[in-house]
Amino acid sequence: MLDNIIRGEIFMTDQKLCQLAIEAKQNSYSPYSHFRVGAALLTEDGAVYQGVNIENVAFSPTNCAERTAFFKAVSEGKRQFKAIAISGDAQDYLYPCGVCRQVMAEFCDPKTFQILLVKPDGNFKKFTLEQLLPGAFTQNDLEKGIQ
């Protein structure tokens, strides 16, 4: 398996990013649901941060794979992102939850940020963040309320 942080990738294809999301699932900590999720987040400078779902017996502290990838990248100073691939154990496409979509909206341009939903066999669908989170609450909305 590739390292969790892959640096210096000059050209990342959708297929490569999808494969990294599938591979990330093996590190999932999901002893309660037994439902593994992996994500691979591509930064503007070509680095890839993999993330997995991390469960907790109390459930509410559980963290999704998408947010794990974002938080790893942000903790290392990254703020600009191009795409994320997400893969779960189901035989269907796994859409990001609302909280993960809102985290994406914090850091990504909704018109250009790509979300790849990946089946275990590698087939994927591609959406923009704007398609999956229309009317997102953003800094612009916050500024409208400040008087």
| Positions marked active-site | 66
How distant is the alpha carbon of residue 107 from its chain centre? 12
DSSP state letter for 27: G
Whole-number Cα distances in Å, 58 to 55, 61, 63, 143: 8, 7, 12, 35
Rounded Cα gap, residues 5 and 47, in angstroms: 7
The CB density around residue 59, as the number of other CB atoms within 10 Å, is 9
How distant is the alpha carbon of residue 14 from its chain centre? 14
